């Protein structure tokens, strides 16, 4: 028999990548990179802030790299600052874990407990964050106040909608709101990674480091949570049948943002977090 007449299966290398596959690979790569970056940041918080707080209470924040971390005589404000730092680990490390399908499917009890802790920590963090912004101020002046307040309000709204839909048994809707909550609750991480990525690539163009202001920072104050949220909504849109061109466009944008995020994670780790550990 002539073997040339027998059709051969296409090798994996010869099978073209589809738009749907490109979208899934891009999202998976982004998630893995973001998870690694979140864990690095959570480790930094544990190593740098927890020991002095454990040893000296709120006074341990004095002189730390935290705007208005400790003020003599301000009991309520100092308690808010300590609370904000202590629960940050739950928000930063717990968010990526909540989105892991393997944990949701194989460890449902852990997923539920962590989810409750995450939502409570996010709401508490947003509440004390809003209090600190309007009583102690923050970087960026009025623009920073408005941007951070907007993020805090979204965290509270998304937390409530996440819980509400879970209690109603609307699990698909619940997961979508949980993903939205992750995006806005992780803004503190997105800000640092975005800032360090911008500095690494442009030398800090558009930033006045003396006053910590400028057009680049104004954009970043809002982009730290609105850009991830916009990308997530685009991802949700693509869950319905979408043209291959749009799926390819989404994949390319996600890969570009992931590349920028990788630069920011590396730069933040090397230049900001590791030197302070």
Structure tokens at 139: 């970087």
The pLDDT of residue 1 is: 46
The pLDDT of residue 60 is: 85
Q: Which of 185, 164, 274 is nearest to 229 (CA)?
A: 185
Separation between Cα atoms, residue 162 and residue 171, nearest integer Å: 9
What pTM, to 2 d.p., does this model score? 0.90
The pLDDT of residue 185 is: 97
Report whether 132 contacts 80 (CB < 8 A). Answer: yes
- CA distances from residue 249 to 236, 243, 246 in whole angstroms, order as listed: 14, 10, 5
The pLDDT of residue 7 is: 52
Structure tokens at 163: 């819980």
Structure tokens at 254: 């996600």
pLDDT in tens, the chain (277 residues): 455 454 555 555 556 789 999 999 999 999 999 999 999 999 999 999 999 999 888 888 877 767 667 777 788 888 888 998 999 999 999 999 999 989 988 999 999 999 999 999 999 999 999 998 888 777 778 888 899 999 999 999 999 999 999 999 999 999 999 999 999 999 999 999 999 999 999 999 999 988 888 999 999 999 999 999 999 999 999 998 899 999 999 999 999 999 999 999 999 999 999 998 8
The pLDDT of residue 78 is: 85
- CA distances from residue 230 to 40, 223, 238 in whole angstroms, order as listed: 25, 10, 13
**What DSSP string runs through 119-186?**
HHHHHHHHHHHHHHHHHH--TTHHHHHHHHHHHHHHHHHHHHHHHHHHHTT-HHHHHHHHHHHHHHHT
């Amino acid at each position: 028999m002539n073997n040339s007449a027998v059709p051969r299966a296409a090798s994996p290398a010869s099978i073209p990548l589809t738009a749907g596959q490109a979208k899934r690979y891009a999202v998976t790569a982004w998630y893995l990179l973001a998870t690694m970056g979140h864990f690095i940041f959570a480790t930094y918080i544990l190593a740098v802030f927890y020991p002095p707080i454990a040893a000296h209470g709120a006074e341990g924040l004095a002189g730390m790299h935290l705007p208005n971390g400790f003020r003599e005589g301000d009991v309520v404000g100092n308690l808010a600052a300590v609370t904000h730092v202590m629960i940050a680990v739950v928000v930063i490390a717990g968010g990526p874990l909540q989105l892991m399908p393997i944990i949701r499917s194989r460890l449902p009890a852990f997923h539920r407990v962590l989810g409750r802790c995450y939502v409570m920590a996010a709401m508490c963090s947003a509440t004390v964050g809003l209090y600190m912004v309007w009583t102690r101020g923050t970087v960026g002046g009025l623009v920073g106040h408005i941007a951070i307040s907007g993020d805090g309000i979204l965290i509270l709204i998304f937390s409530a909608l996440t819980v509400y839909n879970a209690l109603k048994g609307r699990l698909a809707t619940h997961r979508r709101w949980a993903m939205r909550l992750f995006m806005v609750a992780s803004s503190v991480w997105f800000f640092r990674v975005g800032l360090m990525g911008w500095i690494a690539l442009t030398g800090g163009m558009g930033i006045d480091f003396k006053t910590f202001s400028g057009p680049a920072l104004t954009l970043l104050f809002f982009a730290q949570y609105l850009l991830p949220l916009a990308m997530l909504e685009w991802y949700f849109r693509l869950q319905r049948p979408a043209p291959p061109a749009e799926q390819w466009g989404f994949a390319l944008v996600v890969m570009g943002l992931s590349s920028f995020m990788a630069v920011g994670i590396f730069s933040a780790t090397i230049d900001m977090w590791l030197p302070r550990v």
